Amino acid sequence: MQPAPSVSAARRGVLSRAFHCTALAWLATLPGTAHAQSPLLAVASAIPRAPRHTVLVVGDSLSAEYGLARGTGWVALLEQRLDVERLSARVVNASISGDTTAGGLSRLGALLKQHRPTHVIIELGGNDGLRGLPLADTQRNLTAMTRAAKGAGTQVLIVGIEVPPNYGRRYTEEMAALFTNVAKAEGTPLVPTLLAGVGDAEFQADRIHPLASAHPKLLANVWPALKPLLR
């Protein structure tokens, strides 16, 4: 029976193998040796790189695919568009049906900490309007969300929404204006209204949520404002 190798001998073996791997890695960088790539380098090159950008969408039912088959809403279409454009980005959809600006503000801090996004899309305010909540509170919440996201080092895109005209001309006009007010005050890009170009026949029976067939239009409204931020 062979005697067990000494600690120093075992250590020399480890150092030898480490030197061998380092030498192979160096040789693979020399001209004419690309065909002789080591298994170690092959494994390393096969590991997918982390996306350059993380886009966090904080919205309500318009972004949460309410009444739609999964994967057919505008946020899912955004993921597909990023692939087509070969942009290194992943999308985190943190939208919740029925959410308000107050709800979004209350959970934004945890979302920023968990996902560490490079970009935040805020699509909230519609439910504030439908509930007739004070617009001053809505504007204050959107401002706080924008500042919190910017404070975490992200770029922010605000997406506006319009309420039905039966809420009265003054309320609907003030609702539309508050998104512009926040975007101007905070220096952030703005999509004036997510539902621009969606016709009456393109809504679900509730007359609030677009059909899946209309969601490419929603993405078409968002994409021109978002794309420059991803370069």
**Residues with a known catalytic role:** 61, 206, 209
Q: Structure tokens of 53?
A: 């950008």
For residue 215, give the amino acid letter: H
Q: If DSSP codes are grouped into helix, strand and coil, which group holds residue 189?
A: coil
Residues 205, 209, 211: CA angle, nearest 5 degrees: 75
SS3 44: helix
User: Measured between alpha carbons, how far is 164 from 36 in angstroms, rounded to an integer?
Assistant: 67
Q: Are 132 and 68 in contact (CB under 8 A)?
A: no
Structural contact between residues 223 and 203, judged by C-beta atoms closer than 8 angstroms: no
Inter-residue contact 33 to 27 (CB < 8 Å) = yes
